[in-house]
């Protein structure tokens, strides 16, 4: 079986054109696109022309210390807002709705953070831990080596950034960017 590539994807993410790949496990078709239904790793089988997503087992129900994956949707002076992707509870296949969470500047990294915009940008996919649960919402932390950006996009041309030599590089336009990246950053070469 020829597998093209494994990459981390979130629900709704565009995986392929319907003409190139057919929908496999944990994917669905929308118009001309095959999209992911879960957070997980997309795998492409070039022989059967099937794309499927293997759910990421690191994602569990919300409690303090739980690891979650989300997308940065807004950036303020002292905090960012993250859309936590709908997640499955263990193996019970209960899909939790999309939830917003807050990450304060003081919980981003174990060092002085001058500008939030140099750590996270809108559209970045991050892995974080639930730091606190309050009636108003969820609060996150990313001040550990394994937490931070899993997948970032070029702020000039929106291409996914490659991690190479401790830098994030856009192979399309050459832009070099900085982020608080996770040790599990998805695209390395």
Q: Do residues 27 and 35 touch, judged by C-beta distance below 8 A?
A: yes
In the complex, least distance from residue 175 CB atom to Zn ion, rounded to whole angstroms = 5
DSSP 66: -
Closest to Zn ion by CB, 76 vs 172, is 172
Q: For residues 160 and 98, what is the distance between their CA atoms, to the nearest angstrom? A: 23
In the complex, least distance from residue 169 CB atom to Zn ion, rounded to whole angstroms = 9
Closest to Zn ion by CB, 34 vs 181, is 181
- Structure tokens given for 21: 């790949």
Which residues here bind Zn ion, judged by CB under 5 A? 154, 156-157, 159, 170, 172-173, 175
SS3 106: helix
In the complex, least distance from residue 55 CB atom to Zn ion, rounded to whole angstroms = 30
Closest to Zn ion by CB, 145 vs 174, is 174
In the complex, least distance from residue 145 CB atom to Zn ion, rounded to whole angstroms = 26
Burial of 113 (0-12, 13-18, 19+ CB in 10 A): middle
């Amino acid at each position: 079986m020829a597998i093209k590539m494994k990459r981390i994807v979130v629900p709704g993410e565009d995986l392929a054109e319907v003409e190139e790949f057919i929908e496999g496990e944990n994917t669905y078709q929308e118009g001309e696109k095959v999209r992911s239904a879960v957070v997980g790793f997309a795998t492409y089988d070039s022989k059967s022309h099937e794309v499927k997503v293997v759910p990421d087992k690191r994602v569990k129900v919300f409690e303090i210390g739980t690891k979650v994956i989300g997308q940065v949707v807004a950036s303020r002076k002292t905090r960012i807002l993250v859309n936590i992707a709908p997640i499955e509870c263990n193996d019970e296949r209960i899909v939790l709705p999309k939830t917003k969470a807050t990450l304060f500047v003081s919980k981003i990294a174990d060092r002085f953070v001058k500008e939030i915009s140099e750590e996270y940008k809108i559209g970045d996919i991050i892995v974080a831990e639930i730091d606190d649960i309050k009636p108003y919402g969820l609060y996150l932390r990313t001040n550990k080596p394994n937490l931070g950006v899993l997948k970032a996009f070029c702020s000039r041309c929106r291409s996914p950034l490659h991690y190479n030599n401790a830098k994030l590089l856009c192979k399309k336009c050459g832009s070099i960017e900085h982020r608080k990246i996770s040790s599990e950053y998805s695209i390395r070469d």
